[in-house]
Amino acid sequence: MKEEISKNSQLLTSWKEIAAHLGKGVRTVQRWEQELGLPVRRPAKSRHIVVALAPELDRWIEQLSQPAPHCCSCREELETARVTIADLRLQVATLESEVNAALLALQSRDGVPQVNNPARKNSAAQTNGNAA
């Protein structure tokens, strides 16, 4: 491993040093190792000892910062999702109206006094307004 380390390389030998180099907290960089593959080494398969090379960490960060390649289907999927959301909002508004009508019918059939519920009316109005 000494052959890999040039005079310009910086060997980081603890989570604190790695975190300080990246400007993050220790737990954050530990999570990055687990979830994102932060390039650290564990000599002798130790769970507690870690080492990392600063240039490798810098390259890793640069790769994460690269924008994803342009994807034509992403725009299509987004537009499909927008249409689906609009359709679902209309379905919700229709279902709310049907439930309210059924509730009113039950109340009038059973002789229960009707209570105006402004929350229902506002919810339906907002749903209809969002669908437009």
Q: CB under 8 Å to 76, separation ≥6 — which residues?
A: none
State the Cα–Cα distance between residues 13 and 114, nearest whole angstrom: 73
Please report, for the chain, the start and end positions of each structural domain, with discontinuous segments joined by +.
11-65, 72-131
Report the SS3 class of residue 4: coil
Which two three-digit tokens encode residue 126?
A: 């907002």
Distance CA 79, CA 31 (A): 34
CATH class of the region 11-65: mainly alpha
Determine contact, residues 53/11, Cβ cutoff 8 Å: yes
Q: What is the pLDDT of residue 55?
A: 95
The pLDDT of 55-62, averaged and rounded, is 93
> Could you tell me the pTM of the whole model?
0.47
pLDDT at 110: 79
